[in-house]
Amino acid sequence: MDCVICKNGTTKIGLVNVPVVRDDKIIFIKNIPAQICNNCGEYYLESEVAKEVYEKANERMNQGVEIEVTQYMPANS
C-alpha cells in the first residue's frame, strides 16, 4: 500500500516495537507485525492487531504495572 503520511513510499510487512503510554505508565510491546513505509518508517497495524495491543497494554496498566517490556503474542496462538 502507499504511505498516507509521506505520500512517497510504499509499505512492506515487517515487525515494529510500540510504546503504549498513559499518564506515567508505559507498556512497550515488541515484534508486532505491521506494514512499514520504506521511505519514512511510518507503520500501520491491522485493526485486530491494534485492538489486541491496546487491550493487552490497558489490562497490564489496570493491574498496576507502571513499566513493562513484553513480546507481542497473537490472541489465536
* Residues 48, 24: Cα–Cα separation, whole Å: 26
Give this prediction's pTM. 0.87
Q: Rounded mean pLDDT of the chain?
A: 95
Q: In this predicted structure, what is the pLDDT of residue 77?
A: 60
What is the number of other CB atoms lying within 10 angstroms of the CB of residue 29? 22
Exposure of 49 by Cβ count < 10 A (0-12 exposed, 13-18 middle, 19+ buried)?
A: middle
11-22 tens-digit pLDDT: 999 999 999 999
